[in-house]
Amino acid sequence: MKYGMNLLLWTAGVTEEHFPLLSNLKQWGFDGVELPMFDFNVNHFRKLGAELKKTGLASTAVTVCTPEENPISEDASVRRAGLERLKKAIDCCAAAGATVLCGPIHSALGHFSGAGRTQDEWNRAKEILWQAGEYAKTAHITLVVEYLNRFECYFLNCAADAAQFCREVNHPNVKTMYDTFHANIEEKSITQAVKACADQLAHVHISENDRSTPGEGGVNWTESFQALKDVNYDGWLIIEAFGLALPDLAAATRVWRRMFPSEEYLAKNGLQFMKSRWESR
């Protein structure tokens, strides 16, 4: 098992000023970090990758799609832009040494049609993700499709649908993930949700129901960890938490209250919680 920390708790773009933070995370016991990937400067991520290697941290990455770069758009030029965005992110992952690129890379975040997904949208996304998977394969990177709750997207909202989507894409470099925050909202049964996506499961976000310190909220952690153990999950457990440090991100995630004493407190206590729960079962 590998334990990581999503750096979105501190920044939407890691720079040299965050290098001391990387050292701290290593000292606190993390195996790696999840890099926010919204600015696709390959040279920057190459420098960041060198620092991560020096620090002894592995990495994954997270990105999103925009309405102007949307894999499910009926406009072919917008779909092509979505594919190019994913290719740029893959290039940056390769430069940084990240092995996984996760996120709602199937459709535009926060963009709604006013209805549920259509079969045409499903087929368009399959085509784009297969092509992106081919590109990722050459860089030895796994694309990990994340389902979100209904208030953040409409295309994929549950584990069963996300897994079925990846089965139909049918590419070895396109898998799905499990996020405890979204599952807490959308799934009727945690155990059944994890089982439903087990054959496609390649990544896990550990996120409390209020997006703060894991273990201090309402997520059913006992069932969550046991379900992952039952399907023999053995990949990254990444803490994903959000606060008020980044106004744009706070607005996007609807975080209006400070839910933890400090970022250091959240990281340290979240890591201790993950390790104790995983290693005790």
Looking at residue 86, what is its pLDDT? 98
Average pLDDT over residues 193-214: 97
Average pLDDT over residues 102-112: 94
CB 101, CB 142: distance < 8 Å: yes
Model confidence at 246, pLDDT cuts 50, 70, 90, reads low
Spatial separation of the C-alpha atoms in residues 46 and 68, rounded to whole Å: 27
Query: Which domains does the chain carry?
Result: 2-279 (3.20.20.150)
Looking at residue 28, what is its pLDDT? 98
Model confidence at 247, pLDDT cuts 50, 70, 90, reads confident
Spell 127-151 as b/e; 16+ CB within 10 A means b.
ebbebbbebbbebebbbbbbbbbee
Looking at residue 250, what is its pLDDT? 66
Model confidence at 258, pLDDT cuts 50, 70, 90, reads confident
Sign of CA pseudo-dihedral 223, 229, 232, 237: positive
CA dihedral of residues 209, 210, 214, 220 (deg, nearest 10): -20
Model confidence at 252, pLDDT cuts 50, 70, 90, reads confident
Spatial separation of the C-alpha atoms in residues 175 and 165, rounded to whole Å: 9
**pLDDT at 71 > cutoff 90:** yes
Mean pLDDT for all residues in the chain: 95
Looking at residue 141, what is its pLDDT? 98
Give the type of residue at 95. Answer: A
Residue 202, classed as helix, strand or coil, is strand
